[in-house]
Amino acid sequence: MAATRSEQLAELVSFLGGNVVGQVRQLARFLRPELLRLHKQLAAAWKKRGFDARQRKALASVTSLGALASASEGRFPEAFLEQVDYHGRRLAKLDVPAATVAREIERAGRLISERLKSAAPGQIGELDALRRQLDLVALLVLHHAYYCVREAESEAFQELFRAELEARSHQELIARCLEILGCWSRADAARLYLKDWGARRWVLAGSWPATERAEQQLAAGGWERRLRRPRLILAGGRGWELVLAPAWRDLYATCWSVPLVGAAGLEGILQLAFPRQYEWLPRELRVLCLAAERILAASEKARMAEELAAREEQIRRLAEQMVHLEETERRRISEELHDEAGQSLLCLRLRLEMLEQQAAGLDAGLQASLGEARRMVERSVEEIRRVVADLSPAVLEHLGLEAAIRRLVSRFQRTYGIKVAASVRLGRGVPKRLERVVYRLVQECLTNAGKHSRARQLNLSLHSDDKGVRLRVEDDGVGFDVARALAHSRGFGFLGMQKRVELLGGRWELESAPGKGTRVLIELPAPEIAAGGRRAASRGAGLGPGQGK
């Protein structure tokens, strides 16, 4: 069915040929006195079998009787093929099975054949073959019409599904769904209202086309009960006040209203507007009801996703605030250690040194004890300095992250004797809000490796790009069982690292096995880096020849 509707009809006209057209017109003239009686006879039979008025009218137009009626008016074959295509689509939307239509076409054909047996017994073979040819052409057009209706429905649902997958927000989802249904139904405008249960009001969730201006809220009222079921509302008729957009009542002649019913009851109302009086057909109504169910489910999912994203953002900000508070407390403790304990120990060291000098030559044992005490105090001062540096690294504040990482690596090598191959490339920089987080993560990885890995070599890679910050630390140490380590109450500090990374929206991976070393991979998103890169690119794109050098 690759051919278009006009191409297919042109092919069928050519298939019929001039001789057949002439014969059909001749047959129509021959049976003209009988056509009305035959139509009435068929209509009565169809009514008896349960076909309604719209179905009977459509059936009469697609049979060979319809072809003869067109021929008697001089409009065969083009008008007949057009009416078969149009009424075939209506029959499909009226939910009359294609097989049923084919049987009724054959029934009408037999009625004509019976009439020909008595009217022209000598030509019955030729005329009956002509009638069968008409039926075949009608069936070909009907098949294409049914196919087009089903294909349009399928495409509409595929588009709804694609919109559900691709929409980046609830608002975008609703706008796209309204556009799909508006185009499928050939409406001029569409709106979707959703109920705000907390505020007991209705909110306009979206409208199509986008140029439409609409009221944003509706008060709950008695109209809700009347719109709990699908309603076809015609201008000037009963219920025209149920058109929820007042502006539509002056612009359009028809409104289709479809409820979105969920577990809590009526949760939404979809309305489509048409410029002329246009009654929906059963299959159109069913498609709209199914689409409304799909839209409601997708809408709830999209709203939940937005709420989840908002809460995740709230958690991320809270995590950043917690990190900030933690660093503030570390800085306070380091300052107190430096200003109070550190200064006190320095004074104690100086006093012990003076006492040691005074004891020289008087009491060798006392002098030795004082010297040992002085050295202990000196070691304590060094340890406090190390703790202060760990708690609040001054180099990070003054020289930045890269210099602080290199200083950290240098101290790690001196302390643990593990050789480190470090690659630090922060071409786009790291946002200030992440510098201390990254520093602490590197510090924790190195501390774990130094205390537990018994490694000889450690590789450290810290890079930043448009996606964020990527940290990779791997060693050739003894390794461990990851599941057992994480189940341990301490877990080598890995659980704390994992939680911190995940709270900031990052990705954390830990790989290890006994005798296989350990690998830690951490990725932290940093939208500021990407934004900065885009701004720089746009500035570069705006430079003329020879500029920017």
- pLDDT for 29: 79
Q: Does 358 map to a domain?
A: no
- pLDDT for 540: 40
**Which H or E run includes 473?**
strand 468-475
Residues contacting 113, CB < 8 A, separation 6+: 124, 128, 131
Q: What is the CATH number of the domain that holds 468?
A: 3.30.565.10
Rg (CA), the chain: 42
Amino acid symbol at 271: Q
Residues contacting 490, CB < 8 A, separation 6+: none
Residues 426 and 501 in one domain: yes
Q: Does 81 map to a domain?
A: yes
Rounded Cα–Cα distance for residues 294 and 167 (Å): 14
- pLDDT for 100: 95
Which of 260, 280, 300 is the C-terminal boundary of a domain? Answer: 280
Assigned token pair, 91: 């029959």
Give this prediction's pTM: 0.63
Q: Does 326 map to a domain?
A: no
Which of 259, 280, 301 is the C-terminal boundary of a domain? Answer: 280
Residues 38 and 112 in one domain: yes
SS3 421: strand
Closest by alpha carbon to 283, among 409, 40, 126, 95? 95
Residues 97 and 121 in one domain: yes
Q: Does 16 map to a domain?
A: yes
Rounded Cα–Cα distance for residues 269 and 410 (Å): 67
Which of 250, 280, 310 is the C-terminal boundary of a domain? Answer: 280
**Exposure string (b/e) for 37-51, b if CB count within 10 Å is 16 or more?**
ebbeebbeebeeeeb
- pLDDT for 175: 92
Q: What is the mean pLDDT of each run of 10 residues along the chain (549 residues)?
A: 56 60 78 84 92 94 88 82 93 95 92 76 73 87 93 94 90 93 95 82 89 70 91 92 92 96 90 94 95 91 81 73 69 68 78 80 78 82 71 70 88 91 83 81 90 92 87 93 74 73 84 92 72 42 35
- pLDDT for 197: 66
- pLDDT for 1: 41
Q: What is the CATH number of the domain that holds 250?
A: 3.30.450.40
For residues 229 and 259, the answer to whether their CB atoms sit within 8 Å is yes
**DSSP character string of 156-225:** HHHHHHHHHHH-SSHHHHHHHHHHHHHHHHT-SEEEEEEEETTTTEEEEEEEESTT----SEEE--THHH
DSSP state of 457: E
Residues 87 and 117 in one domain: yes
- pLDDT for 17: 54
Amino acid symbol at 315: I
- DSSP strand pairing (217-219 vs 231-234): unpaired
Residues 142 and 275 in one domain: no
Amino acid symbol at 89: R
Q: Does 355 map to a domain?
A: no
Tell me which residue range forms the domain holding 46: 5-154
Q: Does 364 map to a domain?
A: no
Q: Does 359 map to a domain?
A: no
- pLDDT for 309: 76
- pLDDT for 536: 41
Residues 109 and 180 in one domain: no
Residues 128 and 25 in one domain: yes
The domain tally of the chain equals: 3
